[in-house]
Structure 1
């Protein structure tokens, strides 16, 4: 079953004609996208958008063979007139199924927001799931099959992919493509980096995919010759309020299960710290679990879902407490240094051997004022050594600055 993406942008296209934002200003060439519309085997059109016939012609197709036009989401403004060569567009009621003369079967999928998704099965048995902008399937039970190709609003509703994976409707063998792309994510390298982290990809308008073949591995950048695997171990560095925790959480937002490892613990009598912890908890998806511990090696050694460790700077504080590294006289004796070095080496070794997907967060230090105390300078130095040891064991290393992630290693 051939699936041609006539457009991959949001309902208003990308860039938006009336938008002066930086993302729209940078959406040039292959990063400019018409509103998402999908042509299946030349006979089924999912979403009628302005200029659909021209988009099809640019992709080397015609709409003259289209037997059915299906709409997925409410459109603002007056109803769009269908070109005379196309059947009148309709929306199928949730749960209903229709069969085309071509042999394609289409089932309407109920969503948790206004709109309808469509599960399409081709005559060759290929299976496609297409979801509208902001759409997530509602009431997922045991799926009767696994989809070969999934097109969804990955940047707007990443939890949709997490739900599909949890239900078994989408597996790591499913080809996942981000559509309905908007100016909420900068185009170019940043967009491709975000979707790659989810095991997906973004493709230009006019791309034809095949539902039924194993999807090509996701790309980190459009021009990358060899498509990399989704990184299993990632270190996210950054200063205070740089966006490092949000970046780490975003990288695991599409996983059906995540264990959030909080190394800070509680601080009795500190209401400001309690507010910070509460804000972090509210931001996490409801299906994540949380454990508060600095004992990371057992978690890394165990089998289980991905780990998000936030953060290594607090882990180091605990390790220095245990080693007695704050006492100047004891530190000069060398015993705390050896114990601390052993703890860091143990953590790096556990990270090297782990089979789990891990995203670790740490503070980047040493770029500002030199600490006024010996213990402050000691912590700065040891955190730099810890970050270097952990980064050496990670396939992917990011530095967040002013809410922007810079790729240091991929």
Structure 2
């Protein structure tokens, strides 16, 4: 089966005529232009192939019996036909990367399926950024592999962690923050995180048993985040006045991080760029978390810093 893409962009092309966004301007400056998505399958235009409409796109069948799932346009999430394993899937990975994870979760897409991004446009900042994301989504990475994502408040670190795992079929989200009585603003933050997660992800609220879960959970794991875990453990151990009390729990977490056999991504707060806390408890927390981040990074295959939604590999 030969899939030939004459164009990969959305209906308006990329860059879009008259659009002054940064994404389109980057391509113009580089002299790059992508035509609207146009597909030939074994030399035959998609529109002339044997195809059946499914919600969100098309189920295409070649003369040799191959099956291809095709997104109908930007934002489309084509439903697979039951019990069919597709030979190829042409998907809107810019707008709906989690749809790839859903198809893998259902078994409609496997490691043998050819995955191609179509309807690409200025919803992604650049061709290089698309390539960076595709490197996370296309191969099904297995563990052990540990990634630490650092960033300040509202830096985009949680969104980056979720983006990296969007294409995975089985993800366990280990949430270390829980709803606090009488704090509606905090509850709203947690609810916003919950709405972002794909429906098939498993969520586990945990603090005390995080180390055990890291070594006993299969599939991909997202821990969000280390800072709230540490605050909870410092409460449990009374470490705000005596930081040494949290030492054994930190050692236990580092041992579990080192022993984990899954693909793990953990989110943590970068405390070195903020003001010096004005209270002894605040300084104790900063010091312990900063040291914990260093130890986690030393045991990680990848560490990155997220600033204003941009990612710098460390």
By the TM > 0.5 criterion, same fold? yes
Tell me the alpha carbon deviations over residues 247-302 of structure 1, each in whole angstroms, 9 at most, x when there is no partner.
22222223333222111223112222112112222222222232211121221122
2:166 maps to 253
- The structure whose RCO (Cα within 8 Å, separation 6+) is larger is 2
For residues 4 and 287 of structure 1, what CA distance do their matches in structure 2 show? 33
1:40 maps to 41
Count of aligned pairs = 311
The answer to whether the Cα contact below 8 Å between 1:233 and 1:357 also exists between their aligned partners in 2 is: yes
Q: After TM superposition, where is structure 1 displaced by more than 6 Å over at least 4 residues in a row?
A: 228-231
CA RMSD of aligned residues (A): 2.5
The answer to whether the Cα contact below 8 Å between 2:80 and 2:103 also exists between their aligned partners in 1 is: no
> Which of 159, 176, 182 is 2:98 aligned to?
159
- Structure with more of its chain in helix, by fraction: 2
The answer to whether the Cα contact below 8 Å between 1:109 and 1:137 also exists between their aligned partners in 2 is: no
Deviation, 1:368, is 2.2
Deviation, 1:7, is 0.9
Tell me the alpha carbon deviations over residues 146-170 of structure 1, each in whole angstroms, 9 at most, x when there is no partner.
3333221011112321221122121
2:218 maps to 304
> Which of 301, 305, 308 is 1:395 aligned to?
301
The answer to whether the Cα contact below 8 Å between 1:260 and 1:308 also exists between their aligned partners in 2 is: yes
The answer to whether the Cα contact below 8 Å between 2:151 and 2:270 also exists between their aligned partners in 1 is: yes
The answer to whether the Cα contact below 8 Å between 1:155 and 1:195 also exists between their aligned partners in 2 is: no
The answer to whether the Cα contact below 8 Å between 2:72 and 2:78 also exists between their aligned partners in 1 is: no
* Structure 1 segment 101-250 matched on structure 2, within 5 A: 106-111=50-55, 113=56, 116-121=57-62, 123=64, 127-133=67-73, 134-138=75-79, 140-143=81-84, 146-199=85-138, 232-250=145-163
Deviation, 1:140, is 4.6
C-alpha distance 184-372 of structure 1, shift in aligned 2 (>3 A): same
Deviation, 1:187, is 0.9
Provide structure 1 residue ranges, at least 5 long, that are not aligned to the other structure.
47-68, 71-97, 99-105, 200-216, 219-227
Say yes or no: does 1:315 pair with 2:256: no
Computing the radius of gyration from Cα coordinates, the structure with the larger value is 1
The answer to whether the Cα contact below 8 Å between 1:243 and 1:403 also exists between their aligned partners in 2 is: yes
C-alpha distance 229-132 of structure 1, shift in aligned 2 (>3 A): farther
Say yes or no: does 1:13 pair with 2:13: yes
Provide the TM-score with structure 2 as the length reference.
0.89
Deviation, 1:240, is 0.8
For residues 402 and 246 of structure 1, what CA distance do their matches in structure 2 show? 11
